């Protein structure tokens, strides 16, 4: 009788990004758990990873001030769930996706690193 090998089916989360190589058993993981991602997707830098399974992601943007006809630099910071299969560290460029509320302040999950993120033509705006 031939041996049956289970072929690992790659889960698609709807974002053009490569899945992590490590496996995890976290139910709050977008790749290996039951957490669906939907809505907004951001790219940013991990500023802090001090909390357990939580990272603070920050990104900069420019806001136009009409009165002065100038741009103002601003930044956004969010807390995101950091699954064990990704394990982002301080200074990493990551991609975060919106999901259901995980806690009082966490509504995002880290889905991968920016080097694995698709090209602009693959991303629907």
Which stretches of the chain score pLDDT less than 50? 120-125
pTM for the predicted model, two decimal places: 0.80
Residue 2 CB coordination number (10 Å): 4
pLDDT value at residue 61: 95
Domains of the chain (ranges; CATH) run 37-116 (2.40.50.1000)
pLDDT value at residue 91: 92
pLDDT value at residue 54: 94
pLDDT value at residue 1: 55
pLDDT value at residue 108: 96
pLDDT value at residue 2: 58
Let me know: does 110 contact 102? Beta carbons within 8 Å: no
Of 81, 80, 62, nearest to 72 by C-alpha is 62
pLDDT value at residue 57: 95
Let me know: does 16 contact 118? Beta carbons within 8 Å: yes
């Amino acid at each position: 009788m031939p041996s049956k090998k289970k072929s690992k089916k790659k889960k698609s989360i709807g974002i053009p990004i490569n899945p992590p190589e490590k496996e995890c058993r976290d139910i709050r993981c977008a790749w290996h758990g039951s957490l669906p991602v939907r809505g907004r997707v951001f790219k940013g830098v991990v500023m802090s990873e001090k909390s357990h399974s939580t990272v603070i992601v920050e990104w900069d943007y420019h806001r136009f001030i009409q009165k002065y006809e100038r741009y103002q630099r601003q930044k956004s910071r969010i807390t995101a769930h950091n699954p064990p299969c990704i394990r982002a560290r301080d200074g990493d460029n990551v991609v975060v996706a919106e999901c259901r509320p995980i806690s009082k302040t966490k509504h995002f999950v880290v889905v991968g690193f920016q080097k694995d993120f698709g090209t602009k033509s693959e991303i629907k705006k």
